[in-house]
C-alpha cells in the first residue's frame, strides 16, 4: 500500500521538508515485525533512495498502571547516610513526560520538605533523586510519588505511592598529621602533630606504634568538632616505624587510619658515590647528555652540583636529586681534548660525596664552515636595523676572528678583530652610516687559539642608499 506523506507546513516548497502521516495498525498481524518503506520524489519526477523502519506489533496490550519494583534506600531501611541519593525503580518503562518534579516529594520528619535534582533513566526504568541538603540525623524520611505517573501504554497510577527510611550519621572523622623530623640519626625525639575533625563531637584519638597504644594529647579544641594534638615520641632502636593514628566520634564512627612513618638510621659519615654514564666523546658545541646513579638515597631538597672542566675553562650547573640524576651540559667555549665532569651531592645525613668521569672533545671538521657565515641585511641598510649591517658566523673551536671590508678598488674601509668561544655563533656589527652606495667584499678569517689553524671565507655585500 502506497500512502502519500503530508508536509508539516502544508506545502512542498523547499529542498528539505518535515513530513507526517498516521497509520492504522488495527489490521496488522500481531506478534510480527512490519517494515515501512519511505521514498521521495523531486519536482522533476526523480525518485530518491529508499529508507525504512521496523515496527513490532505486540500481541499483549498492557492495561495495568506502573508500580514500584524496589527502592534504594529500601522501605524501612535503618542507618541511612545523611547525604544519600534516592533511587526508585519501576516494574516497567515510564512515560518521562508524566514523571515531573511536582509528582515527587521528599520529606524529613525533622528537616522538613527537601528540594532536589532528579533524572529518569529509561534503560533500567529508574528515577534518581539527589536532595540538595543533607537530612537530619536520626529522622524518618518519606518519599512520596503522586498519582498520574504513566507507563508507555498510557496507564496512570491512581493513588500516591510512598516509602520511608531512617537516617543515621555514618560520616567518619577525618585526620591529618605530620611527624617532625621524619628521619632520625642515632635515635631521639619526634613531634607528632595531628588535626582531628568531625560533623559531631569527637570522643577520642590514639596513636599506635607496633603494639604500643597511646592516647593523643589535645592541645587545642575548637568546639567539640575540631581537635589539635601534639605529642613527643622517643625512638632509640634503628629501623622504620609506622605510626597509626585513629579517631572516634560520639556516634561511634571510627576514622580511616592515618599512617605516618619515622626512620631511625645509624650514624653515616660516608658521602654518596655516583655511577656516571656519558658518551666517550663529542664535538665542540654539542650538548652532552649524562645519567648519574647514586649508591644511596640523596637528601631530597639539596641539588646535585655539576662542573665541566676543560683546561683552564669550566662552568657549573645544578641538577635535581633523585634515584637517577639526569643532566645536559653544553660544550661551547671548551677546548679540544679530555674534559672532566665532576658531580657533588649529599646523602640523607648531609654527607658530601664527589664523583667524576671524563669524555673527549673534538672540533668539527671545518674551523669556519662557509655555509655558517652570513651578512644581514644584504643589501643594507633596512629600516629595522637603521645604519647597521651584521656579520654572523659559527666557529668550531676557540678562535680569533678577523673581519675586513674592501671596496671594489681594493681599499680596506673597515676592520674588526676579536676572540670568540668555539661551538657557538658569533657576531660583529658594522656601522655603515658613512659608507656610500657600492659593492663590497667582506673577508672572514678565523685563527684557532689552540693550533693556529686558519680558515677564510669571502662574502659579497651591497650597500644602497
Contacts from 91-94 at CB under 8 Å and sequence distance 24+? 91/66, 91/67, 91/125, 92/62, 92/66, 92/125, 92/151, 92/152, 93/122, 93/125, 93/151, 93/152, 94/66, 94/120, 94/125, 94/127, 94/149, 94/150, 94/151, 94/152
Q: Tell me the C-alpha distance between 14 and 465, whole Å.
A: 67
- Cβ proximity of 49 and 39 under 8 Å: yes
CB 284 within 8 A of CB 336: yes
- Measured between alpha carbons, how far is 456 from 235 in angstroms, rounded to an integer? 74
User: How far is CA 369 from each of CA 47, 330, 372, 394, 456, rounded to the nearest angstrom?
Assistant: 73, 20, 5, 7, 9
Per DSSP, the three-state class of 385 is helix
Find the distance separating the first CA and the last CA of the chain, reported in whole Å.
90
- How does residue 407 score in pLDDT terms, banded at 50, 70 and 90? very high
The pLDDT of residue 238: 86
Q: Which residues contact 346 (CB under 8 A, 6 or more apart)?
A: 271, 272, 298, 299, 302, 352, 353
pLDDT of residue 60: 65
Burial level of 366, CB count in 10 A (0-12/13-18/19+)?
Answer: middle
Count of H-run helices and E-run strands, the chain: 0, 36
d(CA 285, CA 394): 10
Surface-to-core class of residue 202, CB atoms within 10 Å of its CB (0-12 exposed, 13-18 middle, 19+ buried): buried
Residues 59-106 pLDDT 10s: 667 889 999 999 999 999 998 989 999 999 999 999 999 999 999 999
Domains of the chain: 1-60 (no CATH), 68-166 (2.60.40.1220), 174-265 (2.60.40.650), 274-362 (2.60.40.2950), 370-463 (2.60.40.2550)
| Mean pLDDT for the chain overall | 90
At a CB cut-off of 8 Å and minimum separation 6, what does 135 contact?
Answer: 80, 82, 83, 84, 108, 111, 114, 141, 167
pLDDT in tens, 5-42: 888 888 888 888 888 888 777 777 777 778 888 888 88
Task: Please state the φ and ψ torsions of residue 332, each to the nearest 5 degrees.
Answer: -60, 135
What whole-number distance in Å separates Cα of residue 141 and Cα of residue 93? 26
Peptide bond into 73 cis (omega under 30): yes
- 314-358 residue pLDDT tens: 889 999 999 999 999 888 788 888 999 999 999 988 899 999 999
Which residues is 463 bridged to in the sheet?
380, 438
- Residue 299: name the closest of 182, 210, 386 by CA: 182
pTM listed for this prediction: 0.38
- CA 137 to chain CA centroid, Å, is 39
Q: How far is 8 from 58, CA to CA, in rounded Å?
A: 29
Nearest to 164 by CA among 109, 125, 116, 93: 109
Length of the chain (residues): 465
Tell me if 131 sits within 8 A of 108, measured CB to CB.
no
DSSP 32-94: EEEEEEE--B-TTS-B---EEEEEEE-S----SPP-EEEEESPTT--SB-TT--EEEEESS-B
259 vs 185: which has the higher pLDDT: 259
Specify burial of residue 361 (Cβ count, 10 A radius: 0-12, 13-18, 19+). Answer: buried
Asked if residue 171 lies in contact with residue 177, where contact means CB atoms within 8 angstroms, the answer is no
Distance CA 221, CA 202 (A): 10
CB 295 within 8 A of CB 354: no
Distances (CA, A) of 219 to 177, 216, 227: 14, 9, 8
Mean pLDDT of 304-310: 93
Maximum distance among all Cα pairs of the chain, rounded to whole angstroms? 113
Assign residue 252 a region (left: φ > 0; alpha: ψ between -120 and 50; beta: otherwise): left
pLDDT at 41: 87
Q: What is the pLDDT of residues 247-299, one digit of tens each?
A: 998 888 899 999 999 998 877 788 999 999 999 999 888 889 999 999 999 99
What is the C-alpha separation between 342 and 318, in angstroms, rounded?
12
Backbone dihedral region for residue 211 (phi beyond 0: left; psi -120 to 50: alpha; all else: beta)? alpha
Question: What proportion of the chain, given as a percentage, has pLDDT over 70?
Answer: 99
Q: How far apart are CA 457 and CA 310, in angstroms?
A: 29
Amino acid at each position: 500500500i502506497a500512502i502519500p506523506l503530508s508536509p508539516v507546513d502544508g506545502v512542498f516548497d523547499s529542498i528539505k521538508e518535515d513530513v507526517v502521516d498516521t497509520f492504522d495498525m488495527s489490521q496488522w498481524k500481531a506478534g510480527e515485525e512490519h517494515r515501512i518503506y519511505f521514498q521521495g520524489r523531486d519536482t522533476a519526477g526523480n525518485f530518491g533512495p529508499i529508507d525504512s523502519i521496523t515496527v513490532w506489533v505486540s500481541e499483549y496490550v498492557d492495561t495495568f498502571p506502573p508500580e514500584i519494583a524496589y527502592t534504594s534506600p529500601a522501605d524501612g531501611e535503618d542507618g541511612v547516610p545523611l547525604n544519600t541519593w534516592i533511587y526508585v525503580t519501576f516494574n516497567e518503562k515510564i512515560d518521562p513526560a508524566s514523571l515531573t518534579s511536582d509528582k515527587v516529594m521528599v520529606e524529613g520528619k525533622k528537616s522538613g520538605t527537601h528540594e532536589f535534582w532528579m533524572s529518569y533513566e529509561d534503560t533500567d526504568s529508574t528515577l534518581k533523586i539527589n536532595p540538595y541538603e543533607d537530612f537530619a540525623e536520626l529522622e524518618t524520611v518519606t518519599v512520596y510519588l503522586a498519582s498520574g505517573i504513566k507507563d508507555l501504554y498510557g496507564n496512570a497510577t491512581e493513588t500516591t505511592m510512598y516509602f520511608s527510611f531512617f537516617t543515621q550519621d555514618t560520616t567518619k572523622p577525618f585526620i591529618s598529621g605530620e611527624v617532625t623530623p621524619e628521619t632520625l640519626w642515632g635515635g631521639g625525639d619526634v613531634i607528632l602533630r595531628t588535626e582531628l575533625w568531625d560533623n559531631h563531637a569527637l570522643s577520642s584519638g590514639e596513636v599506635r606504634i607496633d603494639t604500643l597504644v597511646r592516647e593523643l594529647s589535645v592541645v587545642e579544641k575548637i568546639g567539640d568538632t575540631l581537635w589539635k594534638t601534639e605529642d613527643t615520641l622517643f625512638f632509640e632502636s634503628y629501623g622504620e616505624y609506622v605510626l597509626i593514628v585513629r579517631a572516634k566520634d560520639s556516634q561511634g564512627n571510627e576514622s580511616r587510619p592515618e599512617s605516618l612513618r619515622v626512620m631511625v638510621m645509624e650514624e653515616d659519615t660516608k658521602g654518596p658515590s655516583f655511577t656516571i654514564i656519558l658518551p666517550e666523546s663529542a664535538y665542540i658545541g654539542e650538548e652532552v647528555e649524562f645519567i648519574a646513579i647514586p649508591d644511596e638515597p640523596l637528601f631530597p631538597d639539596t641539588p646535585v652540583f655539576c662542573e665541566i672542566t676543560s683546561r683552564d675553562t669550566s662552568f657549573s650547573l645544578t641538577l635535581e636529586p633523585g634515584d637517577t640524576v639526569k643532566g645536559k651540559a653544553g660544550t661551547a667555549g671548551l677546548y679540544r681534548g679530555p674534559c672532566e665532569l665532576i658531580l657533588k651531592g649529599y646523602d640523607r645525613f648531609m654527607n658530601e660525596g664527589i664523583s667524576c668521569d671524563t669524555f673527549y672533545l673534538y672540533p668539527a671538521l671545518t674551523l669556519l664552515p662557509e655555509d655558517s657565515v652570513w651578512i644581514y641585511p644584504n643589501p643594507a641598510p633596512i629600516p629595522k636595523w637603521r645604519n647597521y649591517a651584521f656579520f654572523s658566523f659559527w666557529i668550531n673551536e676557540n678562535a680569533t676572528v678577523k673581519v675586513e671590508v674592501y671596496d671594489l678598488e681594493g681599499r680596506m674601509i673597515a676592520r674588526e678583530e676579536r676572540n670568540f668561544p668555539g661551538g657557538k655563533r658569533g657576531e660583529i656589527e658594522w656601522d655603515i652610516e658613512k659608507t656610500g652606495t657600492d659593492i663590497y667584499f667582506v673577508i672572514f678569517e678565523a685563527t684557532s687559539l689552540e693550533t693556529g689553524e686558519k680558515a677564510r671565507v669571502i662574502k659579497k655585500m651591497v650597500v644602497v642608499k
